[in-house]
């Protein structure tokens, strides 16, 4: 399966995925099945024991009567079986608790790890809220599937099978056969309705539900923009439109489910009535005892309770399967960016970056952005990438990080093809200071030490001091334990950038990427941290996307991009002397910015 988040899964595929999660703990699984089998056997045995007791009492005083001691013995055995029923049932649930916690944890873990492997393109095309909702719904869906299968469907099957067998061997084969035929028909009809009609409607309503969740998450994440432009009413209208679709689909799903429930209740009612009438009729013909009537009335009540819930349980099972579908689909998807088998770790000795005849485009079938691009970034040098928006600067950086794979040529770091080494080792060799840093909703200390979480506090503070953020942090009530809010929303743009610079300082990676790393800083703040930036870049291969003249002038080499081509390269003064593209960009500067 290709990297796609919307491919529908079959029921067997989803259940097979659920089994892969569960089978790791087979001993606990089989223990619960044994407990379920035992209380199901007891549930069939109770009416049989009651029949024996009832026949004995009814025949008291006749030649076929049993002794009073036997009556009392059977009475105690009858209540002993009741005790055994609850013992096995609650014993199953005591095993269920650690079993359930373990497989829910496993599902979330494997699902989250899978999502982490998907490409940047997949995450860009997918609502974050939808992904979160799919994982959280999936973990409870798996719990619901197993609970229904082990505690409901499996006992139902055993009780019905045991009843049919008992009726057949106890002189009532026609009733046993009729019960078997009815049950097969009942399950086939109601199951077909549930799976072929109700299930697709539920799946459609779930898709609408996920869509609404994604819209809400998207709006809440961008709440600052909504308020800035006064778009609350428009965003509410978007949610309203999504809810209209959900409402229409949910109505259809619920009405179909309710209609199926009415059909199931009607069928189980006629089953019970027919069973009791058949037993009474056979008694009038001398073909059944009063105990047989007791058995039929008792077991029909048990079967009716199982079958009465069968419809709602089947619908619930289908809902759970639908909820688990996206997580199962995640596990079937193949990440677009994968490590080669037995790929070695990247070993950076100097940090030379080479593009060899690289061809790359975001969309197949369209003209590529880069076509035959070749360039060498010397080890340990600072290289500035300049050019107008869309010229290929950010794409160049993303290819070095292997966030996308090239369609032709190759990219080397110290002679090693980035496509042939592990992604983890590649990414851990590169420190990134983005234009709009994304911070975790964690403490300032955790964000600064993100790449090296075990560093001592002294290292964190030293990096923060170099990034000119320590003084600000120490004015906060919680200081370095201050939570920064989702995506760092509690901090200003400049504060987030300085935290990101401190994070890069702590990371100590051999390759550094700075994408407009000081764009949110004023000139005074930039000057205050310039020494730290100089120390950070010293001895490291540094790629800088920058518009500020002060940053570009310090570069050892400047690459000028234009429509996916490097049209000029060289130091600042040499490029100015050429009086070409770079000179035009330079002349267009305003306030020290190249636009």
What is the SS3 string spanning 303-355?
Answer: HHHHHHHHHHHHHHHHHHHHHHHHHHHHHHCCCCCCCCCCCCCCCCCCCCEEE
Q: Give the 3-state secondary structure of residue 456.
A: coil
User: At residue 545, does pLDDT exceed 70?
Assistant: yes
DSSP string, 120-187: HHHHHHS-HHHHHHHHHHHHHHHHHHHHHIIIIIHHHHHHHHHHHHHHHHTT-HHHHHHHHHHHHHHH
**The total number of structural domains that make up the chain:** 2
Residue 287 lies in a domain: yes
Residue 96 lies in a domain: yes
Tell me, what CATH number does 477's domain have?
3.40.50.300
Mark whether 31 and 169 lie in a shared domain: yes
Per-residue tokens: 485: 């809010």
Which of 316, 332, 348 marks a domain boundary? 332
Mark whether 110 and 232 lie in a shared domain: yes
Residue 37 lies in a domain: yes
Mark whether 244 and 104 lie in a shared domain: yes
DSSP string, 372-402: EEEEEE-TT-EEEEE-STTSSHHHHHHHHTT
Angle at 415 between CA 412 and CA 419, to 5 degrees: 40
Residue 249 lies in a domain: yes
Residue 595 lies in a domain: no
Average pLDDT over every residue of 527-548: 78
User: At residue 1, does pLDDT exceed 60?
Assistant: no
Residue 572 lies in a domain: no
The confidence band for 412, taking pLDDT boundaries of 50, 70 and 90, is: very high
Which of 332, 361, 389 marks a domain boundary? 332
User: At residue 227, does pLDDT exceed 80?
Assistant: no
Residue numbers of the domain that contains 250:
11-332
Residue 206 lies in a domain: yes
Which of 310, 332, 354 marks a domain boundary? 332
Bridge partners of 417?
412
Per-residue tokens: 236: 């509410």
- With pLDDT > 70 as the criterion, what percentage of the chain qualifies? 88
Q: Position of tokens 């950086």?
A: 397
Tell me, what CATH number does 322's domain have?
1.20.1560.10
Per-residue tokens: 418: 């980035």
Task: Summarize pLDDT for 370-398 with one digit per residue, the tens.
Answer: 999 999 999 999 899 988 888 888 899 99
Position with higher pLDDT, 356 vs 436? 356
The confidence band for 519, taking pLDDT boundaries of 50, 70 and 90, is: low
DSSP string, 470-535: HHHHHTSTTGGG-B--GGGTTS-HHHHHHHHHHHHHHH--SEEEEESTTTTS-HHHHHHHHHHHHH
The confidence band for 90, taking pLDDT boundaries of 50, 70 and 90, is: confident
User: Within 10 Å of residue 475's Cβ, how many Cβ atoms?
Assistant: 7
Residue 479 lies in a domain: yes
Say which range, 31-40, 225-234, 434-443, 520-529, has the weakest mean pLDDT.
520-529
User: At residue 42, does pLDDT exceed 80?
Assistant: yes
Are the CB atoms for 397 and 543 separated by under 8 Å?
Answer: yes
Are the CB atoms for 439 and 503 separated by under 8 Å?
Answer: no
User: At residue 591, does pLDDT exceed 60?
Assistant: no
The reported pLDDT for the residue numbered 11 is 74
Q: Select from 327, 323, 331 the least CA-distant residue to 145.
A: 323
Mark whether 217 and 80 lie in a shared domain: yes
Mark whether 160 and 300 lie in a shared domain: yes
Q: Burial code of 335-364, b = ≥16 C-beta within 10 A, e = fewer? A: ebbebeeebeebebeebbbbbbebebbeee
């Amino acid at each position: 399966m290709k990297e796609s988040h919307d491919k529908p899964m079959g029921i067997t595929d989803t259940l097979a995925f659920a089994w892969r999660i569960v089978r790791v703990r087979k001993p606990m699984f089989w223990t619960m099945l044994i407990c379920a089998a035992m209380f199901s056997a007891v549930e069939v045995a109770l009416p049989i024991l009651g029949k024996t007791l009832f026949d004995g009492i009814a025949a008291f005083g006749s030649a076929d009567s049993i002794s009073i001691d036997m009556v009392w013995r059977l009475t105690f055995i009858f209540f002993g079986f009741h005790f055994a029923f609850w013992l096995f049932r609650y014993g199953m649930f005591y095993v269920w608790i650690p079993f359930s916690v373990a497989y829910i944890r496993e599902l979330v873990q494997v699902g989250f790890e899978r999502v982490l492997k998907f490409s940047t393109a997949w995450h860009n095309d997918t609502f974050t809220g939808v992904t979160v909702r799919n994982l959280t719904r999936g973990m409870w869906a798996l719990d619901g599937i197993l609970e229904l299968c082990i505690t409901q469907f499996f006992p139902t099957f055993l009780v019905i099978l045991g009843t049919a067998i008992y009726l057949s061997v106890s002189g009532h084969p026609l009733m046993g056969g009729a019960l078997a035929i009815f049950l097969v028909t009942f399950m086939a009809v109601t199951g077909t309705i549930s799976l072929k009609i109700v299930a697709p409607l539920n799946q459609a309503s779930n898709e609408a539900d996920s869509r609404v969740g994604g819209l809400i998450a998207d709006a809440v994440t961008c709440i600052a923009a909504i308020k800035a432009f006064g778009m609350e009413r428009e965003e509410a209208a978007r949610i309203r439109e999504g809810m209209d679709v959900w409402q229409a689909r949910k109505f259809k799903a619920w009405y179909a489910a309710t209609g199926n429930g009415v059909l199931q209740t009607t069928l189980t009612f006629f089953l019970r009535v027919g069973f009791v009438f058949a037993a009474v009729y056979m008694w009038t013909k001398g073909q059944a005892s009063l105990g047989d009537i007791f058995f039929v009335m008792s077991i029909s009540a048990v079967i009716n309770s199982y079958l009465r819930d069968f419809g709602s349980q089947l619908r619930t099972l289908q809902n759970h399967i639908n909820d688990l579908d996206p997580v199962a689909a995640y596990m079937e998807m193949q990440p677009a960016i994968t490590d080669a088998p037995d790929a070695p770790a990247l070993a950076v000795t100097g940090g030379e970056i080479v593009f060899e005849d690289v061809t790359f485009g975001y969309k197949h079938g369209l003209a590529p952005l880069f076509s035959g691009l070749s360039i060498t970034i010397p080890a340990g040098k600072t290289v500035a990438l300049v050019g107008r928006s869309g010229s290929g600067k950010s794409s160049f950086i993303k290819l070095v990080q292997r966030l996308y794979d090239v369609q032709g040529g190759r990219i080397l770091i110290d002679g090693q093809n980035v496509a042939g080494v592990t992604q983890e080792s590649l990414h851990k060799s590169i420190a990134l200071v983005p234009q709009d840093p994304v911070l975790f909703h964690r403490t300032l200390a955790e964000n600064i030490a993100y790449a090296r979480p075990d560093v001592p506090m002294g290292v964190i503070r030293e990096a923060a001091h170099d990034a000119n953020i320590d003084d600000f942090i120490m004015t906060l009530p919680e200081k370095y334990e201050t939570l920064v809010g989702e995506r760092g929303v509690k901090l200003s743009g400049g504060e987030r950038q300085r935290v990101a610079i401190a994070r890069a300082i702590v990371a100590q990676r051999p390759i550094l990427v700075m994408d407009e790393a000081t764009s949110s800083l004023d000139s005074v703040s930039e000057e205050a941290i310039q020494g730290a930036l100089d120390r950070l870049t010293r001895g490291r291969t540094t790629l800088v996307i920058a518009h500020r003249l002060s940053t570009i002038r310090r570069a050892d080499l400047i690459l000028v991009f234009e429509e996916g081509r490097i049209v000029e390269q060289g130091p600042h003064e040499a490029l100015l002397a050429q009086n070409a593209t770079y000179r035009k960009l330079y002349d267009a500067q305003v306030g020290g910015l190249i636009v």
